Structure 1
Amino acid sequence: MRPDPAVLLDVSRLISRLGGGPATGIDRVEAEWLAHLQDRPHLLLCRVRRGQLLLPPQAGAAILRWLGGALDDLPPPDLLDRLRGRRTLAARAEAALRGMALARAGRDGRGLGRAAQAHLGQGVYVNVGHANLQPALLANLRPLPRAVLIHDTIPLDHPEFTRAGQAGKFRDRFAAALGQAELILTVSQATRADVLRWGERLGLPGHAPVVAAPIGTRLAAPDPAGLPAGLDLSRPFFVTLGTIEPRKNHGLLLDAWQLLERGPKPQLFVIGRRGWENRAIFARLDRLPPGGPVQELSDLDDGAVAALLSGSHGLLMPSRAEGFGLPLTEAAGRGIPVLATPLPAAREMLGDYATWLSPDAPADWAAEIARLAAASPLRRPALPVPAWDGHFAHFHAGLSETLRLSEVASM
């Protein structure tokens, strides 16, 4: 049996997001890959302010420490960053990583493919963070095969939900991945179908296999220590979890709460940091009375989020677009009721577990919320959720088949 090749993992996203608040779903995937590789042959690639760094395994152990909050070994930023006033955690991390680098290159990564191969032998470049997907870099990573994980095609399907200019940048990264990678991974079968549809629509090469490798779900232990003081958990409450951005459709929930009958209302905890292009929703949140039935909570750690989710009457997810939707499996894996919109990826993960409601029907949401709030918190048999072992098994199976076909073609 062919041994699994060593991995050159791109950690550019993790470093750029260091100190940027609670981890997003994509951040968690890149961190999970980094942790998975700690006892396996690997190197790391990281884009920094002035180029690319090829990094040894000990850099990964350091990054995991930093992600866990152990920052004492981080040096000050480099002189140039200090002169420019860039004193962020990311700048300090880049300074530390430059001191560990096995090789350096410009932004296009010229020579890094050969340098990585010299250290790894048989290896594969893996990018799971949607960052650093530049055509020139991907080309210069040859002769290593390249595998790219695509989380969703939301910027192509719904450019109105993204920051100005991001849809075009995503299209360029998407084209680079499909045009050069030997293996494309997706987080769900629904996203796989979207990738194939957009690849055909954009006239991109279809030589790389597209393999669905659902990402795993880790259920953090509930820990109320990180909850804000004075939060009333004695009354029924619901949670919605995720960045406050247009596609998450928070406005529907605010409308639903206005429709609930007069009298004591259940509480809604809006958990997540504020995102972009959502000024009207931010204004509505800013007008909420302190201690009212709807409260915005940001910067909660995983234990605090788990404590709220575990004690809630349900998770509410009225999203208009998702590639996977980690909060859905986090709730279902605990037996928590879920009200959600019937998006393809959500239906794929939860099946008949959730109550499916239209993203344009606040009255229907209000009625279902009132029904759940009128009783004690309902708990269902927990839904088996995807495991990370399965994700990595899909990756290795897809890569093995890709390498086998490549060998056959070269005979």
Structure 2
Amino acid sequence: MPGAGTRTATTAPEPKARLLDLTRLISRVGRGPWTGVDRVEAAYLKQFLAETESVFGLIRVSHQFILLDRAGVRALHQRLVGNVDWGRSDAVALLKRRLNDQRRRAEADLRRLSIATCKHDGLGRMLNRHLPDGTTCFNVGHSNLSEEVLEQIQAKQGLNLSIMIHDTIPLDHPDLQRPEVVDTFEKRLRAVGKFADRVIYNSAQSRADAERYFDAWGRMPEGVVAHLGVDLPEADATELPAGLDLTHAYFVTTGTIEPRKNHALLLDVWEDLAGDTAHETPTLYIVGSRGWENEDVFRRLDALKGADSRIKELSGLSDPALAALLEGAAALLFPSLAEGYGFPPLEAAVRSVPVVVNDLPIYGEILRDIPVYALPNDRYSWSTTISKLAEQNRAGTGQRETGSANIPTWSDHFDLVLKVT
């Protein structure tokens, strides 16, 4: 026994380890600006590197899983944000002709940075060999959500599996999806319900939607609602395409041109505005790439091409360019028919840009009284609201104070998500 006046030695607890699935970000290399889900995975990557806990990265590529330690994760982050160029393709990457050049170089770099690789059926053994007990695995990008993969991850002794669900739109609105997406998404959500220790939800609405399915399928994982934060890139008008006339009233809508985003409504509205000979028709900038199952909208857009058109498509804009475009807009228009979260209205609100949205539950939950709410597919309501905002913009009387101080932050998000992991 220790004598009087002596202190019993204590062992400091081991720092917690975190494993972050980074497959989503790698899948997007060379494919243009990040989407909303990409930004979430990037926010987790940045946060984990800023903390003291051990961090590992897991990436699935065509024929293998790749495991990175903190040094590898940090090196990957430097490449993803453009501070370091991707290296040369290796012999394995050169065989993958379907991949773009940047993606081949990225996969080659991952192998050079890795502490271990394995075939798909060896994931469990690799994680058991290299991860400390008590590791928490985070999957926030909707990648690798199969029973085969999640069962192997859960085989790691003492591992806790946290998965983010962004929405259940494929099951709630199958008519707005590509047919193959619905079945694939259901299998993924069932696997989450079966294997997740905890589900992270971006909103109370997403939680209610997902738990309705989990309840029907017989297992309810623990859940936490943590609203997502907003990162604001610095606006840079020099990155905008040459020749844009931003001297007249204009509006912006952003998002992949797919049925759910409801671009057809805005095309209808602009027909109404063009018929109002008493007022100059404002310009609508549609920022986003063409998606799927939307041929009628594509035909209408093709017919509108021309220097004198008041509807302009802009794809591949950088984040600084989009920020510059937004700052001068009369409003952001977001007539989406369904959203689990939806970053564009939040990003516009933080910049004090007026926002018009469909009256969806998610915006009442997060933005409250900041946006102008219009009824879904109410062409008259949207037309009159946009006309009013255009006139205010021309007269310089538009309201730019939107109460954006109440928008959730990433700090708020991680305070909730990480306080118990």
Query: Residue in 1 aligned with 2:3?
Result: none
1:170 is the counterpart of 2:185: yes
Decide whether aligned partners of structure 1 residues 283 and 179 sit closer, same or farther in structure 2, where only a CA change above 3 A counts.
same
Q: Is the 8 A contact 2:370 2:402 kept in 1?
A: no
1:33 is the counterpart of 2:47: no
Query: Residue in 2 aligned with 1:160?
Result: 175
Query: Residue in 1 aligned with 2:62?
Result: 49
- 2:219 is matched by which residue type in structure 1? P
Decide whether aligned partners of structure 1 residues 304 and 80 sit closer, same or farther in structure 2, where only a CA change above 3 A counts.
closer
**Deviation, structure 1 residue 340:** 0.6
- 2:302 is matched by which residue type in structure 1? D
1:252-263 mapped onto 2 (5 Å cutoff): 252-260=265-273, 261-262=276-277, 263=279
- 2:330 is matched by which residue type in structure 1? H
**Deviation, structure 1 residue 87:** 4.6
Decide whether aligned partners of structure 1 residues 287 and 4 sit closer, same or farther in structure 2, where only a CA change above 3 A counts.
farther
Q: Is the 8 A contact 2:253 2:287 kept in 1?
A: yes
Query: Residue in 1 aligned with 2:119?
Result: 106
Q: Is the 8 A contact 2:370 2:403 kept in 1?
A: no
Number of equivalent positions: 395
Query: Residue in 2 aligned with 1:408?
Result: none
- 1:63 is matched by which residue type in structure 2? L
- Range 92-101 or range 172-181, more displaced: 92-101
What per-residue deviation string (whole Å, max 9, x for no partner) do you get for residues 128-177 of structure 1? 00001121221212321100001000011112222231111111111111
Name which one, 1 or 2, has greater alpha-carbon Rg: 2
Query: Residue in 1 aligned with 2:198?
Result: 183
- Secondary structure in 1 aligned to 2:415? helix
- 1:309 is matched by which residue type in structure 2? L
Query: Residue in 2 aligned with 1:219?
Result: 232
Q: CA–CA distance in 1 between the matches of 2:98 and 2:290? A: 25
Question: What's the Cα RMSD here?
Answer: 1.9
Q: CA–CA distance in 2 between the matches of 1:70 and 1:19? A: 15
1:382 aligned residue (382, 398, 403): 403
- 1:361 is matched by which residue type in structure 2? D
1:355 is the counterpart of 2:377: no
Structure 1 alignment gaps of length 5 or more = 401-411
Q: Is the 8 A contact 2:134 2:160 kept in 1?
A: no
1:324 aligned residue (316, 334, 341): 341
- 2:321 is matched by which residue type in structure 1? A
1:284 is the counterpart of 2:305: no
- Secondary structure in 2 aligned to 1:22? coil
Q: CA–CA distance in 2 between the matches of 1:164 and 1:89? A: 30
- Range 160-169 or range 322-331, more displaced: 160-169
Give the fraction of aligned pairs with identical amino acids, expressed as a percent. Answer: 38
What per-residue deviation string (whole Å, max 9, x for no partner) do you get for residues 220-252 of structure 1? 221101111110111001111111111000000
- Secondary structure in 2 aligned to 1:149? strand
Query: Residue in 1 aligned with 2:149?
Result: 137
1:97 aligned residue (95, 110, 118): 110
- 2:351 is matched by which residue type in structure 1? R
1:394 is the counterpart of 2:416: yes
Q: Is the 8 A contact 2:236 2:320 kept in 1?
A: yes
Q: CA–CA distance in 2 between the matches of 1:100 and 1:140? A: 23
**Deviation, structure 1 residue 62:** 2.7
**Deviation, structure 1 residue 389:** 1.0
2:138 aligned residue (113, 117, 126): 126
- Secondary structure in 2 aligned to 1:7? strand
The normalised TM-score by structure 1 is 0.91
- Secondary structure in 1 aligned to 2:253? strand
Q: CA–CA distance in 2 between the matches of 1:367 and 1:272? A: 25
- Range 356-365 or range 311-320, more displaced: 356-365
- Range 14-23 or range 131-140, more displaced: 131-140
Decide whether aligned partners of structure 1 residues 309 and 382 sit closer, same or farther in structure 2, where only a CA change above 3 A counts.
farther
Q: CA–CA distance in 2 between the matches of 1:62 and 1:389? A: 24
Q: CA–CA distance in 2 between the matches of 1:282 and 1:230? A: 23
Query: Residue in 1 aligned with 2:77?
Result: 64
Q: CA–CA distance in 1 between the matches of 2:174 and 2:391? A: 39
Query: Residue in 2 aligned with 1:406?
Result: none
- 1:13 is matched by which residue type in structure 2? R
1:200 is the counterpart of 2:229: no
1:268 is the counterpart of 2:281: no
**Deviation, structure 1 residue 84:** 4.2
Decide whether aligned partners of structure 1 residues 181 and 163 sit closer, same or farther in structure 2, where only a CA change above 3 A counts.
same
What per-residue deviation string (whole Å, max 9, x for no partner) do you get for residues 234-271 of structure 1? 10011111111110000000100101113520111101
Q: Is the 8 A contact 1:54 1:102 kept in 2?
A: yes
Q: CA–CA distance in 2 between the matches of 1:279 and 1:163? A: 13
- Range 240-249 or range 87-96, more displaced: 87-96
- Range 216-225 or range 63-72, more displaced: 63-72
Q: CA–CA distance in 1 between the matches of 2:116 and 2:356? A: 50
Q: CA–CA distance in 1 between the matches of 2:314 and 2:137? A: 38
Decide whether aligned partners of structure 1 residues 73 and 83 sit closer, same or farther in structure 2, where only a CA change above 3 A counts.
closer
Q: CA–CA distance in 1 between the matches of 2:357 and 2:96? A: 49
Decide whether aligned partners of structure 1 residues 47 and 352 sit closer, same or farther in structure 2, where only a CA change above 3 A counts.
same
The normalised TM-score by structure 2 is 0.89
